Every structure is written in C-alpha cells, then in structure tokens.
Amino acid sequence: MVTQRFLALAIVCAFIACAHGKLSYENYGVYRVDITTDEQLALLQQLESLPNGYTFLDFPSNVAASVEVVIPPAEKNNVERLFQKHGIQFSLLTGNLKLVLDKERPARKKLEDGFGWENFHELEEIYAWIDEMVLQYASVLSVETIGQTYEKRDMKVIKLSYKPGNQGIVIDANIHAREWITSASITWVLNELLTSDDPRVRDIAENYDWYIVPVANPDGFKYSHTTDRLWRKTRTPHNLLCYGTDPNRNFGFQWNNGGTSPTPCSDTYAGTAPESEVEVSNLTTFIRSVAANVKLSLSIHSRGQYILLPFGYNNAPRAYNYQDLMQIGRRASVDMYKLYQKPYRVGTTADVMYVASGISVDWAFAVAGIPLSYTFELRDQGEFGFVLPAEQIVPNAQELLEAFVALIDEARNLDYM
C-alpha cells in the first residue's frame, strides 16, 4: 500500500518534471533530521531509496548524525507525522527551497558575455573557455578527451605543464553533479595558475604538471542545469523510475563496503559492479596512465568544509602514512582559515564525515598508489549547502588555491614532493 502510494507519487513527479522541463522546488521544504536509533536509521534509509520525490542531501549512513532532506509540498504533512511517530527530531530549515535557489545566480548582465566567476556556467561554456585558454596558452596548456559519458558527452582533462620532468598532480571536480562550486572553483584556480604573479603560485604552477578534470560527471552536471538542480548521480537508466549511479561509490576498491545503497533509486547507489559507470572507468584509466609520476591527488566536492583522507569504508584501518596525511591536511586547513576564517575539519572520511566506500580518494591511494590523496568538501556548513550564491565562488576558490599552496609546501617538508 505504502509502496503503491510512493510509486503513484513518483509517476506524478516524473510527469511534472517532463511537463515543465525544470523542477522549480517551489514550496519544497528542507528538513534537518537527527538520527538517534538504529530503527530511525533504517526508516530513513528506506525513505531514501524509494522513488518518492524526496531528495536526501546527505546519506543517512549512521546513528548519532543528522541529515538534510528535501520534501515535496504535498508530502510535508505526511513526513512530519512519520517523523513524530518514530520519535525523530527534526527542524524545518526552509519552507520554500525555490527562494534559496533564486539567490544562487545573479540576473545575467547584458554585457557579461565572456567567461568569469561572477556566475555559474554550463558544461558547454566551461568547455569553450578551456578551448580558448588552450589557444591562448598553447605552449603550456593542452586538453585531451579521456572518453565519453553514457550519453556520449566528452570527458576532458586539462594538462598544464611548464617544463618536462615535473611530478604530476591529479584533480577531479564535479563528479557529483549538483556540486557546482567545485568546477567553478577549479577553473578559477587554473586561471590563477596561468596568470598569477604571486611567487608562491608561480612556484606550484611551474614546478608540477597539473591534470585537471573540471567536470567528471558531464551527464549529471548537464541534468542539474536543465532539469533538477539537486541531481547528484550519473544518468545511466536502471528502470522506469530510477536513473543514475553514485560515481563516487563506484570505484574499484572496497566497493559496496559501507555507506552505499543496493537500490538503484538511492542517491548512493553503488552500481552493478565496480566501475560499472563509464565515467568512472574513463577516469581510472586516465589516472592509471599518469599515476607512476603522481604523489598528490585531489577530489573536489561540496559541502561541509572538510579535508578528508583515506579511508572511508567500514572498519577501515589507518593508512600507513596517516600521521603525514593529517599533518599535511591540517596545514592546509590552518592556511585556508587565515583568509576568511572558514574552518575546515581534517580526518578520514569515516572519522569526520560518514562511512563511504568505493570512493575515489581511497581508490587513488590504495590502487593507483598515490600516497597523498584527499577529498575536499568545499563551502559551506549549511546555510546554502549545494546552492552556494555565485558571489562566494571567488572567495571559496581563493581558499582552495591557498590549500594547494599549503599542501604542496608541507608535502615538500615531509619529502613527498
């Protein structure tokens, strides 16, 4: 009965999305929900995995945690009753998510035709900007297609290299579609690596080869612009109602060992097998091809302000160089804080955020053998979440560049780079 109602609702939602093109989130509520018992956890995990129109902004992976969930207007009363019935503490963060979404992007100015960081850009605009930069900086910058997505979009890696013999640094961003701040920040950082006069920036730009995948999930990213701002996964179809695999649960190390869902509708669905997603296999094939010369790999995500190190899976041991990873991560956090006093917490994914497996940072460390592997979770800590206003792109990206300078400096102190 319950399932039938959910299915009916999902079909209605799917129909609405089709009819109106883009989901407006008008009158959708955003709730913060505290998980205190195993029974509550199981209930929330069940709600998360159904095609019910609910969007969990965090996966309910353990007790003693809180998660945010977006609820359609017609479901608000039902879900509040359900929470009350199960003794779940909740608070309504906003009664109308559309008002938050409206603050994300400034009205397009007539004169602002070129690429910049006053606004978020679509995939085609990012790719066009990269092509322009490659033309302008042809002696040091190149771009390569490392494969195509499920929907046949190109996946691109930018390579910045000032001289032969440099060690490499690998960075991926926006593998989670809704995390727009990540591709916006990394393109700003790339621009700084090319144009900054700061001797610290020139040092790291010119003495390392930078491999940057600015949008590691182009299909999902596109969909987050055209149809559903809060889309997270790839766009692989699984059945009539459920699309997408969580690409950052699909890497081939400790796959499906905690913090994942076996249900295709879930936002943390791990896929049918390790690297079942072509986007992930394209990325790992590329990283393997350069890994022998890479000591630092970074996966850029949002949100929450964390610097995360291996590992994330269930009952994982400490990495062999845990103390070094912590020292280098803490140095980045301290230097980032100096800019705008935004605190970044440092620790393993499992320790400071939640259990998660099949994730890129663990794969890069354990399989690709890259000794310094981190996930960055950029701003913020809850006020805007995944829909950070565009005016925060530059300060956020400045913090990220400061982190890169600090990571490399501390890694040099410890003789990694």
Q: How far is Cα 195 from Cα 176, in angstroms, rounded to an integer?
A: 28
Instruction: Specify the residue, 301 or 379, whose C-beta has the smaller distance to Zn ion.
Output: 301
Reading the block at residue 28, the tokens are: 């959708």
55-56 vs 345-348, strand pairing mode: unpaired
Active-site residue (options: 192, 275, 377, 410): 377
Shortest distance in whole angstroms from residue 179 CB to Zn ion: 5
Q: How far is Cα 409 from Cα 382, in angstroms, rounded to an integer?
A: 30
Q: How far is Cα 173 from Cα 388, in angstroms, rounded to an integer?
A: 16
Q: How far is Cα 384 from Cα 388, in angstroms, rounded to an integer?
A: 5
Q: Catalytic annotation on 192?
A: no
Footprint of Zn ion (CB under 5 A): 176, 301
Shortest distance in whole angstroms from residue 153 CB to Zn ion: 19
Shortest distance in whole angstroms from residue 303 CB to Zn ion: 8
Q: In what order do the strands lie in the sheet with 372-378?
A: 141-148, 154-160, 208-213, 167-173, 294-302, 372-378, 306-309, 345-348
Instruction: Specify the residue, 43 or 403, whose C-beta has the smaller distance to Zn ion.
Output: 403
Q: Where are the alpha helices (DSSP H) in 137-198?
A: 180-195
Beta bridge partners of 158: 143, 212
Q: Where are the alpha helices (DSSP H) in 86-238?
A: 97-102, 123-136, 180-195, 199-207, 218-226
Shortest distance in whole angstroms from residue 385 CB to Zn ion: 12
Shortest distance in whole angstroms from residue 11 CB to Zn ion: 29
Instruction: Specify the residue, 176 or 295, whose C-beta has the smaller distance to Zn ion.
Output: 176
Whole-angstrom CA distances from 267 to 75, 132, 358 are 19, 35, 14
Residues sharing a CB contact under 8 Å with residue 3, sequence separation 6 or more, in sequence order: 50
Instruction: Specify the residue, 204 or 403, whose C-beta has the smaller distance to Zn ion.
Output: 403
Instruction: Specify the residue, 216 or 242, whose C-beta has the smaller distance to Zn ion.
Output: 216
Instruction: Specify the residue, 156 or 301, whose C-beta has the smaller distance to Zn ion.
Output: 301
Q: Which residues are tagged catalytic? A: 377
